[in-house]
Amino acid sequence: MAALEKKAVINVDITPTDTLLARATGKLDRMKDVPTIVLGRVVTALGVIRALGRQGIPLFWVTDDPDLIVSASRWSRRFPATVQPPDGPADLAGFLERIPVDRAVLIPCSDHWSKAVSALDPALAARFPASMPDALTLAKLTDKKLLAEVLRDHDIPHPRSVPLREEEDLGVVSPEEICGWFIKPADSQSFQQRFGGKAFRLQSLQDARDRYRTVRRTGLAVILQEYIPGPASRHFFVDGFVDSRRELKALFVRQRIRMYPRDFGDSTYVTSVPEADAADAVASVRSLFRAMPYRGIFSVEFKHDGRDDRFKLIEVNTRPWAFVQFAAECGVDVAVMAYRDALGQPVPAVQDYRLGQSTARCPEDWIAGLAQVRSGEMGLSAFILSQLRATSLHFRWDDPMPYFINIRQILRLLLRKLGSFRSRSKVADSRGEGQRRTTGD
């Protein structure tokens, strides 16, 4: 994988946990004596930890779910075993009250952790500041039903959406059109945890009714949304940061090249592109944040609709995203911006970033790319070249262990699947042998 050129000298903080605690409970004479508590897991938390660690910012990593990949990072620090970890985001306030830290910056890396931070009482919020929107703004942007209303109110292009309050609301779309729509959750994280996907593509009106009933039994709210046709490369993301004075300090535009799964999956290969490539999307983001009291990190997804040549807003992330490390290495380090802003420090504006850089999330991108090769959408040589041009989402020379842990987990998964396949084959063979003995074949 190609290595990204660094713009500045990297300071590595390898301070032991007890020394970090001593700093955090003593007099805070310097900004970098205030630690950060990174809340969450997977590559998003890993990217934030790497971005902060490289700048010498002390940090602790907190999660309610084990993650060997993140824990393998050289900058990942856990609280001592004597400190009971939080029992999920709902326990955040109790956790902060019992840790031996006078003050720390919070950076949540998932929707549920973000909601927990926004719900802290004023006393805790003062001790543990975060650069993020207030609870009401957060809800309006992360709840897909509320977001659709905001976009309509501010005339921002978006797919046609219908709130599903009851089953009869499905009748808004004709049976002939329903195959071009899908059921989408208001709370993406809860839906993903429950159903293992982002949405349900619909095959018929009856399918829509069945899907709706399945979701409603869980108590999750959903909307019916039009599917915008087109390949993964029609997706663009406008990422950036707004400081406490509501000034837009940075923009970073990237294009999705591949994704997995194909319809409602995650990006597996992205490339940094000029703002001009998605000028209308950038204008929509500026308009949205002028109309709302926004603060903090954001990532806004658009899809270009070839039917009317418009960039339509799909969703808004009000927190770091999976490719936050990639943005930092291209020159837009929103994690450090959030740290400075939370402490009331000025946030220098980013005027430009590195263009034409790419990163791949493997092995998912191997699956997505080889599928395109098999379908004839791309040649094998083009796919191999794309891999050679890209960095790995997990591998970095200054922090290699998360990559090797990821590879180990992939190999274990493949071995389990192979063992399961062999077991099923043996069962099928034994059944076939029994049938032949019975029938005399």
Token pair belonging to 172: 């808004």
Task: Identify any residues that bridge with 223 across adjacent strands, giving them in sequence order.
Answer: 163, 184
179 and 103 part of one domain = no
Token pair belonging to 432: 């076939």
Specify the number of domains making up the chain: 3
86 and 198 part of one domain = no
Separation CA 229–CA 232 (nearest Å): 10
243 and 348 part of one domain = yes
Q: Is residue 154 part of a domain?
A: no
Q: How many CA atoms lie within 13 A of 195 on its CB side?
A: 21
> In angstroms, how far is the first alpha carbon of the chain from the final one?
55
Q: Is residue 317 part of a domain?
A: yes
Q: Is residue 255 part of a domain?
A: yes
Q: Is residue 411 part of a domain?
A: no
**419: number of Cβ within 10 Å:** 10
167 and 222 part of one domain = yes
Q: Are 15 and 58 in contact (CB under 8 A)?
A: yes
Q: Which of 296, 394, 339 is nearest to 37 (CA)?
A: 339
**Mean pLDDT of the region 283-294:** 96
Separation CA 267–CA 257 (nearest Å): 8
Q: Is residue 281 part of a domain?
A: yes
Distance (Å) of CA 179 to CA 49, 175, 226, 256:
42, 8, 9, 24
**CA geometry: angle at 213 spanning 211 and 219, to 5°?**
110
39 and 168 part of one domain = no
190 and 310 part of one domain = no
342 and 380 part of one domain = yes
Q: What mean pLDDT is reported for the chain? A: 88
353 and 388 part of one domain = yes
Q: Which of 315, 316, 413, 415 is nearest to 364 (CA)?
A: 413
Under the banding of pLDDT at 50, 70 and 90, the label for residue 263 is: confident
- The CATH code of the domain that includes 179 is 3.30.1490
272 and 346 part of one domain = yes
pLDDT of residue 423: 63
Coil, strand or helix at 117: helix
pLDDT of residue 109: 96
Q: Is residue 350 part of a domain?
A: yes
Q: Is residue 426 part of a domain?
A: no
- The better pLDDT of the pair 365, 15 is held by 365
- The better pLDDT of the pair 21, 231 is held by 231
- The CATH code of the domain that includes 91 is 3.40.50
165 and 306 part of one domain = no
- The CATH code of the domain that includes 346 is 3.30.470.20
166 and 306 part of one domain = no
Segments forming the whole domain that contains residue 70: 17-130
Q: Is residue 408 part of a domain?
A: no
Does residue 132 have a pLDDT over 50? yes
Give kind and range of the element (H or E) at residue 346: none
Separation CA 238–CA 282 (nearest Å): 7
User: What pTM was estimated for this model as a whole?
Assistant: 0.86
Does residue 20 have a pLDDT over 70? no
56 and 87 part of one domain = yes
**Token pair 């034409």 in the structure block, residue:** 356
Note the pLDDT tens digit of each residue in 160-211.
Answer: 999 899 999 898 998 889 998 999 988 888 888 888 888 899 999 999 999 9
Q: Are 310 and 304 in contact (CB under 8 A)?
A: yes
Boundary (domain end) residue, out of 200, 226, 252: 226
**CA geometry: angle at 277 spanning 273 and 280, to 5°?**
130
Q: Which of 369, 394, 395 is nearest to 382 (CA)?
A: 369
Boundary (domain end) residue, out of 110, 130, 150: 130
